[in-house]
Amino acid sequence: MGKIKRRAITEHEKRALRHYFFQLQNRSGQQDLIEWFREKFGKDISQPSVSQILSSKYSYLDNTVEKPWDVKRNRPPKYPLLEAALFEWQVQQGDDATLSGETIKRAAAILWHKIPEYQDQPVPNFSNGWLEGFRKRHILHAINEQPTESVVLNNTEPPNDPLSRVYDVTRLTNINDIFTMQETGLFWKLVPNGTPEVEDIKGITRFKARITLTVCCNASGTERLPLWVIGYSQSPRVFRAANVKPEVMNFKWRSNGKASMTTAIMEEWLRWFDACMEGRKVILLIDSYTPHLRAVENIRNSGNDLRNTTVITLPSTSASISQPCSEGVIYALKACYRKHWVQYILEQNELGRNPYNTTNVLRAILWLVKAWTTDISPEIIENAFNLSGVLGLFNESAVTSRALDEMIHPLRELVSEFSVQAAMRIEDFISPSEENIVDSSEDIINQIASQYMDDRAFETDEEESTEFQITTKDAMKAIELLLNYEAQQPDGNPAITISLLNYQKLLEARGGNVNLSRLRST
């Protein structure tokens, strides 16, 4: 698959896409919209771009009418990709009234060097005339994107709310209806005693084999929503080779050039979460991270607020309160993942294979899904909420420490096969500081510029193994094998047998009633 060249999407095209989508009685999926856009305008558009254009960020387009004299009054930009990126940077700075002309010019020069389409061209002279034109072209956008006053509007709490407000809300809410969401980076090919590898892609520095995980769970540990995984490739070739659908495997896949959370993805995530909570009234605790704040602000300004969710933004620095997932939940998830990965490394080494080449991002995600859904106990999550202080129950929990120690012990033993030193510094392997999400101005610029990078068909530049599709006949044979295995166990479980038989029935329906007697004889 060749590289997908990013081409500027005009305001006319954005308006047409929004109009087409919102007038549909049966809303299309984003892949259908990508096909429609290609047929309509003869150019490709990425899934993140579709998601962003349909967000409230571009709602102003719904209330404006294209006029022939607008073109004369306000000339189109000479460098549309640059201006789109620069405007997004300006929006993320908050109150653009504080941005001087020189600050905007400097940001434009930095972005110019990072957007691939312009890298072979000399940097323009960003004159005062250009600056005036840029501000005129984006004045309507800026007015629509200004943050609202810090007041409660429907179900979205304003950012930086006092701590007492957190306690007041959570103490009146059942713990099953108190959720938290947080992201973390993950170097999915990191080895013990190793360091994360870095690559430079046309002026944008990023880590190799890195993904961002979005985890969400409730305070009792009884509900864990599917992981959202953000990578580099819009459609990794291993997904296509295995013919897998992420949703069926209990995760969602998104992508951009930095493999990081963006405002558009966060806004999509919030609306997805709210839909998952249909018929309930729940609390959602999130970080004061720029994409979070912008997404909450966009939703509040859209006139289409969340229906089932009250969002509370936790303070970025506080001695008495913290993000629950930071109190052991994410650490436990990573520890479980590293254990699966190290076991795989040792097995591949015994077979004389290079695990760095034979693994792939799909296998890594399946380990993560297993860790998230089955390996982490509800007690770890429940105690993390207590430790965080969001429930007003701040206390040291021996239960959490003991549970984490039990999870880390087998990993430490596995890592000791690499070196004693690596086992002693197990924490650096489980959760290296480079995986932490950083909210800096440089990071914002890189995130914005990365949206204009060429897409690629793979997640890393190492060789990835081919995943073969499993036929219904293969699956039926596997079920037969599992049924026989369970029947032979001294502690065999009838519930497992019944589940396997039910799945066997489903496979028969899918495969046109595959003949079981023939399967048993082959």
pLDDT for res 147: 35
CA neighbours within 13 Å on the CB side: how many for 95?
4
Nearest-angstrom CA–CA distance, 110 and 122: 13
* Vertex 143: Cα angle to 107 and 165 (nearest 5): 95
pLDDT for res 468: 59
Nearest-angstrom CA–CA distance, 491 and 209: 41
Which uninterrupted H or E stretch holds 184? strand 178-187
Nearest-angstrom CA–CA distance, 60 and 63: 6
pLDDT for res 454: 65
Average pLDDT (282-291) is 92
Cβ-proximal residues to 484 (8 Å cutoff; 6+ apart), any chain: none
Residue type, 144: N
Tens digit of each residue's pLDDT (9 = 90 or more) over 401-431: 677 888 888 899 999 888 777 767 888 999 9
Which uninterrupted H or E stretch holds 506? helix 494-510
Residue type, 383: N
Nearest-angstrom CA–CA distance, 381 and 400: 9
Q: Helix, strand or coil for residue 72?
A: helix
* 372 DSSP 8-state letter: I
pLDDT for res 407: 84
- 97-101, 382-386, 479-483, 488-492: lowest mean pLDDT where? 97-101
pLDDT for res 27: 56
Q: How far is CA 123 from the centre of its chain?
A: 33
**DSSP for 8-60?**
PPPHHHHHHHHHHHHT-SSPPPHHHHHHHHHHHHSS---HHHHHHHTSGGGGG
Q: How far apart, in Å, do the first and last CA atoms of the chain sit?
A: 38
Sheet with 178-187, strands from edge to edge, namely 251-255, 227-231, 210-218, 178-187, 282-286, 309-313
Residue 290 scores a pLDDT above 60:
yes
Closest residue by Cα to residue 409 from 340, 463, 335: 335
Measured in degrees and rounded to the nearest 5, phi and psi for residue 178 equal -110, 115
Exposed, middle or buried, 98 (CB in 10 Å: 0-12/13-18/19+)? Answer: exposed
pLDDT tier for residue 370 given thresholds of 50, 70 and 90: very high
- Give 40 or 338, the one with higher predicted confidence: 338
Nearest-angstrom CA–CA distance, 124 and 79: 10
pLDDT for res 61: 64
pLDDT for res 69: 38
> What would the two tokens of residue 127 be?
């004159």
* 503 DSSP 8-state letter: H
* Cα–Cα distance list, 483 to 120, 314, 501 (Å): 62, 49, 8
Nearest-angstrom CA–CA distance, 513 and 81: 54
Residue 142 scores a pLDDT above 50:
no
Q: Where are the alpha helices (DSSP H) in 307-376?
A: 329-350, 355-358, 361-370
CB 480 within 8 A of CB 376: no
pLDDT for res 375: 94
Average pLDDT (78-106) is 77
- Give 281 or 1, the one with higher predicted confidence: 281
Nearest-angstrom CA–CA distance, 247 and 250: 5
CB 234 within 8 A of CB 455: yes
* Vertex 298: Cα angle to 133 and 323 (nearest 5): 125
pLDDT for res 441: 63
Q: Where are the alpha helices (DSSP H) in 416-460?
A: 420-424, 426-430, 441-450
* Cα–Cα distance list, 295 to 182, 262, 325 (Å): 14, 9, 20
Nearest-angstrom CA–CA distance, 118 and 83: 12
Closest residue by Cα to residue 231 from 263, 202, 206: 206
Tens digit of each residue's pLDDT (9 = 90 or more) over 452-463: 666 666 677 544
pTM (two decimals) = 0.72
What b/e sequence results for 36-50 when a residue is b if at least 16 CB atoms lie within 10 Å of its CB, and e otherwise? bbeeebeeebbbbbb
> What would the two tokens of residue 377 be?
């106990």
Nearest-angstrom CA–CA distance, 165 and 350: 56
Residue type, 246: P
Question: What is the share, in percent, of the chain residues with pLDDT greater than 90?
Answer: 34
CB 371 within 8 A of CB 343: no
- Give 232 or 10, the one with higher predicted confidence: 232
Torsion of the alpha carbons at 321, 323, 326 and 329, rounded to the nearest 10: 120
> Mean pLDDT score of the chain, rounded to an integer?
80
Cβ-proximal residues to 279 (8 Å cutoff; 6+ apart), any chain: 308
State the pairing for strand pair 178-187/210-218.
antiparallel
Bridge partners, 181 (sequence order) = 216
